[in-house]
Amino acid sequence: MDYASSLLSWLPTGRRSIGVTQLLNKLESYLPPAQVDRVREAYEFGAQAHEGQKRLSGEPYIAHPVAVADILADLHLDAQTIVAAILHDVIEDTATAKDEIAERFGPEVAELVDGVSKLDQIQFRSRAEAQAESFRKMLLAMVRDIRVVMVKLADRTHNMRTLGSMPPAKRRTIARETLEIYAPIANRLGINMVKSELEELGFKALYPGRYRIIEKALKRARGNQKQFVGKIADNLGAAIKKAGIDARVEGREKHLYSVYQKMRRKRVPLASIVDVFGFRIIVDSIDTCYRVLGMVHGLYRPMPGRFKDYIAIPRVNGYQSLHTTLFGPNGMPIEVQIRTEDMNRVAESGIAAHWQYKAGDTQGHSYRDRASEWLQNLMEMQHGGNSEEFMESVKLDLFPDKVYVFTPRGEIRRLPRNATAVDFAYDVHTDIGNHCVAAKVDRRLVPLRTPLRNGQTVEIITAKGATPNPGWVNFVVTAKARASIRHYLKSLKHSEAVELGKRLLNQALADLALALKKIPEERIQAAAIDLGLKTPEELFEGIGLGERLAPLVARRLLPSDAEPQPEVTPSSGPLAIAGTEGMVVSYARCCFPIPNDPIMAYLSSGRGVVIHREACGNLRNYRKQPDKWLSVTWQPSVDRLFNVEVRIDVTNRMGVLAAIASNIATTDTNIEHVGVDERDGDASTLVFDLQVRDRKHLAAVIKNLRRMPEVLKVTRVLA
């Protein structure tokens, strides 16, 4: 009787699972007997807790957690993770409490089980929100202890293996979620064996027809290529052996899902995907990898542009290998990967390889550190918006098509394809991104939106008072940059809205012969609670964003014994606008108000205050809501530029546009946009979107333009 069987011999027959003997035998190969015995105890505890429960397939429920533990045993995970895998459903599906698990198996196992359970215990208003929030919870659980998600990935893998018992609609939903979320996470953590199985099973369940067609076609291709594959493997093995190198040559068959993805990516028919087989050469050292590469290139001609050195520059998930594509017999493409045993272990197990190395080894820790660095970035990303925004942001990081650039000190930074200088700045550090004002690529100044290319050296120039530009969100591609910019702008909008709300409320209170500073904090707090808010800050923010009317809130703040106030004509002066309240004060694009224009303000819910010119034609549409109009004026000194539209009628002649643009530039005016509004044989109408400081600046621009002989008429555009 083997060790595993002896451990189980005393269990009641009804509680024995066929899979547990296999599991214990696997664990015996790499865990000490005391830890294997601990897993056996967990199995007995779980079998008792789940007794009487069945899966949809009809098998005893305990078979599922045992299968999950078996998947993790293939990755050589530690005993605590295996125990947690066996118990991962007992808190959720049985009467067992977390404290009971902690008392029996220790607090570490209890935290892992609780972490896995919490991922499935969230209630939501919509399916999209549920999926997004589950995704957020899962990724943030990874930050606390990555083993929680290792168990979750194994759980999903076994659920995919047994998906046949589910209704068709449910199968498709689970399969899509697997391909969109779980497989990419396994890939990001470098766990190739789990990633590949999830992709194959997800593809088969989501697109069964496509799966069958490709499977049938590949079977035919295998038959046609079989003689070539054997010949190539023999040639590779003979050349390496002749050089006295000890190596292992393995044939590698392409997965159906990778073939399908290649067809979609390259938009080619299945007949064009001829490289069904690849080869993997595993050697003892990095030096030998490069020696073998030279031999392989001597044996078969390499395909130009198809060599990748992931040893010198590893992939973001820690993967290392040499990749080359060769012209084989009859011109058939041959894909060859060359790597060491350690690299092969990491390629298959990813972050799980950390648990496979001995305590004194440092290589396993480096792979864990790579994953930890990414996971730490998730903590920063989560502040950027709601769960659905977070999910979309992280998805971008889960499908990396990387470009490698250098810092001025020669450090390699890995960024997604089409990443810009701003993405680079945020990748180095959030503070550098928030304060960047310019960038140098290979020592030359470039616009911040410039896409980066492989091998470039990037230097970021920062300024102490600089802040993120809202327009950056439109061109950054990394999740970290987008989330950091949104978080900053969100915080800025909050503080600006609170400040504006206080000013508006003070103005409304002045009409009632009161002032905000004279009202007790308890009364403001009580008014906020009456309106369903938690703090006075929320109340001020709501006023500043136009969601609540200051006069109505002001009346709530009157003392309870005060006499009802009659309608009064506002006695306080107009609200002074400085032009710098960028997040809560906006300027209408219909009439383009600029300093010194007579203006009015409209309280727009969620946007705050929108400034219009008094002569704006759209005012009549808003006159029906007088309670939302504010009297406003410009502060004496306004330090910013404002957009304004100018219409210029010109005679048609060659170079007239360049001449007018040059004339405008002489007045220190920036041109945002130019367009042609009308055109006939003799004259054209040009519409310029300019940035000016005030009416005086605009008047100087118009005066200059009117002096030009080709200019027929200059007018400021009104709504």
Q: Which long-range contacts (CB under 8 A, 24 or more apart) does 108-111 make?
A: 108/80, 109/42, 109/80, 109/83, 109/84, 111/145
SS3 track for 336-404? EEEEEHHHHHHHHHHHHHHHCCCCCCCHHHHHHHHHHHHHHHHHHHHHHCCHHHHHHHHHHHHCCCEEE
Of the candidates 92, 100, 537, 649, the residue annotated as catalytic is 92
* Beta-strand runs (E) in 487-532: none
Tell me, what amino acid is at 632?
Answer: V
List residues bridging with 603 in a β-sheet. 609
Q: What's the rounded Cα separation, in Å, for the pair 186 and 167?
A: 26
Read off the tokens for 709.
Answer: 């002989």
Tell me if 485 sits within 8 A of 383, measured CB to CB.
no
Q: What's the rounded Cα separation, in Å, for the pair 562 and 584?
A: 33
- Block residue for tokens 């710098």: 580
DSSP one-letter code for 108:
H
Question: H or E segment at 67?
Answer: helix 63-74
- Is 567 a residue of the active site? no
Q: Give the rounded distance of the alpha carbon of 461 from its chain centre.
A: 26
Tell me if 523 sits within 8 A of 557, measured CB to CB.
yes
Tell me if 177 sits within 8 A of 169, measured CB to CB.
no
Q: What is the dihedral of CA 341, 347, 350, 352, to 10 degrees?
A: -40
Q: What's the rounded Cα separation, in Å, for the pair 184 and 164?
A: 23
Tell me if 714 sits within 8 A of 702, measured CB to CB.
yes
Tell me if 40 sits within 8 A of 5, measured CB to CB.
no
Q: DSSP 3-state helix, strand, coil percentages of the chain (rounded to 5)?
A: 50, 15, 30
- Is 93 a residue of the active site? yes
Tell me, what amino acid is at 375?
Answer: L
**166: helix, coil or strand?**
coil
DSSP one-letter code for 271:
G
Question: H or E segment at 327?
Answer: strand 322-327
Kindly give the pairing relationship between strand 308-309 and strand 277-283.
unpaired
Q: Which long-range contacts (CB under 8 A, 24 or more apart) does 163-167 make?
A: 163/201, 163/205, 164/57, 165/55, 165/56, 165/57, 166/56
Q: Give the rounded distance of the alpha carbon of 44 from its chain centre.
A: 41
Instruction: Compute φ and ψ for 415, nearest 5 degrees.
Output: -130, 155
The burial of 27, by beta-carbon neighbours within 10 Å (0-12 exposed, 13-18 middle, 19 or more buried), is given as buried
Of the candidates 93, 145, 649, 694, the residue annotated as catalytic is 93
DSSP one-letter code for 457:
B
Mind telling me the catalytic residues? Answer: 92-93
